[in-house]
Structure 1
């Protein structure tokens, strides 16, 4: 099954307050394995950047001033997303901004039925624990050493690994294939090999040779006060 794990960076907390997207990063996974395909864009928000937001993601208006506006990247983004489920951490936040930007471009908002929220999954699986992306990476042993500031593409890549762990992790023996049909063929082949009769081999001799027995007896005689000497044979 194809899914898209994504993350956004913004100028603030709510599009209703005039805040905008400034970065979006998407990672494609198939059967919970990253395919290597991704979508990433920095976006000119056409407004100022609050200092509080810049402190979180490090994106200044000087950096974003020559980047495309959302309407310039929206077609490529929609093509990449397709009709796949969309996975995000605290997904209602990301969906709110994404759908607001889509509506401003005349596009139909993405249905919330496609939303998969890893924050809700983490709260269910680990009640009472910390559920930030950093905390979940630490819990699952995922390397986040490059995450100095928030970045949409890097965070999406980390979240993809977290999502796999929240879904149960990568199982030993999981068959990876480009298509489900190919996976079934590999599975059937593996089962056929397991059912195939194995040739019967005669047992190999493991008895010690007379020379080995003699060397062993000589070695035993050199032992001082061996334990078994304290218990004479019945």
Structure 2
């Protein structure tokens, strides 16, 4: 009597099937039933091999599909990373251009400011020179008046001369005070101009340092994004290697 054959099937991995064939021992002491139920159709070795080959094909197909999906994900990640790098490069270039433009503008404004201050100093010096000329003219006029009065009043010459000389002395002292006052004003103006120039230079250097710090911070963030991308790609490769 032929031994009954039992075939069990279970899924061992994604896309693959495992078949277990169990051959039962013949049982001589069991009574032969009067009516026999139809036995399950036994599978031949060729059929089992065919099913195993089909299961292997399905497994390979699913594995290829999964690898294609992983490859597509990696492609999307690489594309996203490339776009981020392009965006970062564009941002850095735009920031550098804006910084250079701002520095050029600051330099132009500083030059215009210095030109304005030079013009003011020139006008002030011209005014001082004009006042000096007026004082010199007044001194000459006063001297001429003194000489005229001395000639017209010989009898009071000594007294009048003393008074006029005193007035001339007072006038010269006043002119000297005015001249010294203008020189002091010029000196103070030059000190204020120098202080403003130093403040403007310090502010310019501070602005440059802020912009450079912004660029360095942006580079650090870009490096962090690049490191995260590399870790993700390494994890995906490790997962693919483990699944294979």
Category of TM-score, reference length = shorter chain: under 0.3
- Identify the structure with the greater strand proportion: 1
- Identify the structure with the greater helix proportion: 2
Name which one, 1 or 2, has greater alpha-carbon Rg: 2
